[in-house]
Amino acid sequence: MSDQKTATLWCHTAYPVVEKVREWLQASSEWTLKEITTPIQLVSVRDASAVLEGCDAVCLFIPTGDLAVAASLTQTFLSAVQVAGVPRLVWVAPVGSDNDIGRGLARAASDVQAHEKPAMIVRHGILFSELLHHREEIRSRNTLSLPMGGRALLWAAPQDVAEIVVQGLRGDLEAAHPITIGRRENGEELTLALSQQLADNLEGNRFAERRFQAIDVNQDGNLTRVELTPYMAELGYGPGEIDTILDHADINKDGNIDFDEFTFHRI
């Protein structure tokens, strides 16, 4: 009898937290992963509930681009969950401000709390990755022009949010009250933290480039299975595992792994 469980990630736009959650769940042999990425205007309770049928857990992510429709999207989510009978729910959204969008988020969170199925609500500060579009300003001026004055800003790293989400999907963590993830930093502290993050990312990319070039025997900018297999075997993977990893990493299905695919899946 198989103990494998199924989780569905429901998100309509790019969201760094989803990428981290997906990465962790795919690395586990205990979970099968489904996703709902249908454009918001096309998603329906019927179609969503069909995807959720038989799922053990589902998480709805509300990224910045979907904040204005958080209430209606949450209602669709809760209705589909009720039809499909999913036992474990997680709802993720940024911390809202005291404005119409923030009040809409608060209503959506209240609806989730009032739902008949137990749900874990996760709120987070501004994601580090969403601030990185300021990187040129940080590099050139060592300052960060954000509309925050001397106030501290709540920010969060995507991996910290994702860790809590994964625990909620697995049932390792249950919370009767909303969980807020983030820590408060003023402008100077946040700039220093972002500068360090940028430096770490740059060094990581340089290491990945060196590793990619070492594997790319003919230096054509693509890694073939012939080139990758000895490298993966040195890491301890067996033939079947290597085939599975490379099939998954080959996003465009051209039979090769380019640098973007190599770094995205951290081969």
Kindly report, residue by residue over 220-255, the tens digit of the pLDDT: 999 998 888 887 777 667 777 778 778 878 888 888
Residue 109 lies inside a defined structural domain of this protein: yes
Give which of 225, 79, 200, 232 is closest to 132, Cα–Cα. Answer: 200
| 210 within a domain of the structure (yes/no) | no
Residue 259 has pLDDT above 50, yes or no: yes
Residue 265 is predicted with a pLDDT of 54
**CA gap 95, 144 in Å, rounded:** 21
| Residue whose C-alpha is closest to residue 13's, from 98, 130, 118 | 130
Backbone dihedral region for residue 118 (phi beyond 0: left; psi -120 to 50: alpha; all else: beta): beta
Q: Which of 186, 203, 229 is the last residue of a domain?
A: 186
Q: Is the pLDDT of residue 87 over 90?
A: yes
Taken in order 209, 213, 215, 219, is the CA torsion positive or negative?
positive
Specify whether 18 is located in the same domain as 142: yes
pLDDT greater than 90 at residue 195: no
Q: Percentage of residues in the chain with pLDDT exceeding 90?
A: 33
- Domain membership of residue 209 (yes or no) is no
In this structure, what CATH number is given to the domain that contains residue 174?
A: 3.40.50.720
Same domain, 172 and 222: no
Q: Tell me whether residue 189 is exposed, middle or buried, using C-beta atoms within 10 angstroms of its C-beta: 0 to 12, 13 to 18, 19 or more.
A: middle
Please give the C-alpha separations between residue 93 and each of 4, 67, 149, in angstroms, as whole numbers.
Answer: 28, 8, 25
Residue % of the chain over a pLDDT of 70: 78
Distance CA 245, CA 141 (A): 42
pLDDT of residue 182: 80
Do 159 and 30 have their domain in common? yes
- pLDDT at 201 > cutoff 90: no
Same domain flag for 136 and 243: no
Q: How many structural domains comprise the chain?
A: 2
| Same domain for 225 and 175 | no
Q: What is the pLDDT of residues 158-190, one digit of tens each?
A: 889 999 999 999 988 877 788 988 866 555 555
Flag whether pLDDT at 15 surpasses 90: no
Question: 266 pLDDT exceeds 60?
Answer: no
pLDDT for 198 equals 53
CA 191 to chain centre: 23
CA atoms of 73 and 44, how far apart (whole Å):
10
Do residues 162 and 241 share a domain?
A: no
**Same domain for 152 and 39:** yes
Residues 121 and 166 in one domain: yes
Please check whether residues 132 and 245 belong to one and the same domain: no
The per-residue pLDDT for 142 is 46
Token pair recorded at residue 193: 């933290």
Q: Per-residue confidence at 148, pLDDT binned at 50, 70, 90?
A: very low
Do both 121 and 173 map to the same domain? yes
Which tokens hold the place of 39?
């454009």
The model's pLDDT over 29-81, given as tens digits with 9 standing for 90+, comes to 889 999 999 887 788 999 999 999 999 999 999 987 788 889 999 999 999 99
Mean pLDDT of the chain: 80
Instruction: Note the pLDDT of residue 13.
Output: 79
**160: Cα separation from own chain's centroid:** 10
pTM above 0.75, yes or no: no
Sign of CA dihedral 32, 38, 43, 46: negative
Torsion of the alpha carbons at 80, 82, 85 and 90, rounded to the nearest 10: 80
Would residue 201 count as lying in a domain?
no
Q: Is residue 76 part of a domain?
A: yes
Task: Give a yes or no: residue 207 inside a domain.
Answer: no
Task: Tell me which residue range forms the domain holding 102.
Answer: 5-186
Q: Is residue 26 part of a domain?
A: yes
Q: Are residues 117 and 244 both part of a single domain? A: no
Calpha distance 15→129 (Å, rounded): 10
Please indicate, yes or no, if residue 69 is contained in any of the structural domains.
yes
Residues 45 and 119 reside in one and the same domain: yes
CATH number of the domain residue 246 falls in: 1.10.238.10
